[in-house]
């Protein structure tokens, strides 16, 4: 069964307004329903309310960082199968390994491209089809 991106719920958790806005704009252009959060605490309440299909989370955030946020999501039986993609400006092996340990499904280095963002969704959300494919 194909799942068109129309209404596909995607959560973006990042303390950077620029990153949130960039990801939101890219995802809305392909028909996704985007929920944003400024940090892990903000995100956890929104995840419980909105049940996103995939979650992008920044690693470096105040209060609750991306590793802690990912671990909390993955330790919740209702959300453990929800794909969590780590976002970071660091491209180190240690960071990627730590992301795997807490249960992340993929690791994207910032700045990410539209192709990387959509590629991650296509990889982890079976049948995902962006609404408009042509314009870049």
Stretch 53-82: mean pLDDT, rounded?
96
Q: Is the predicted pLDDT of residue 2 greater than 50, yes or no?
A: no
Nearest to 44 by CA among 17, 16, 66, 23: 66
22: left (phi over 0), alpha (psi -120 to 50) or beta: alpha
Taking the CA atoms of 8, 14, 15 and 17 in sequence, report the sign of the dihedral they define: negative
CATH class of 8-124: alpha beta
* Entry pTM: 0.91
Q: Is the predicted pLDDT of residue 60 greater than 80, yes or no?
A: yes
């Amino acid at each position: 069964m194909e799942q068109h991106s129309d209404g596909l719920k995607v959560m973006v958790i990042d303390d950077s307004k620029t990153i949130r806005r960039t990801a939101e704009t890219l995802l809305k252009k392909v028909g996704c329903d985007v929920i944003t959060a400024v940090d892990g605490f903000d995100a956890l309440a929104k995840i419980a309310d909105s049940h996103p299909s995939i979650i992008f989370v920044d690693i470096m955030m105040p209060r609750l960082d991306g590793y802690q946020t990912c671990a909390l999501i993955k330790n919740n039986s209702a959300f453990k199968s929800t794909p969590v993609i780590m976002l970071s400006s660091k491209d180190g092996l240690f960071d990627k390994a730590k992301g795997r340990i807490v249960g992340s499904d993929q690791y994207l280095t910032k700045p990410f491209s539209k192709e990387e963002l959509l590629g991650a969704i296509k990889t982890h959300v079976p049948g995902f089809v962006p609404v408009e494919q042509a314009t870049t």
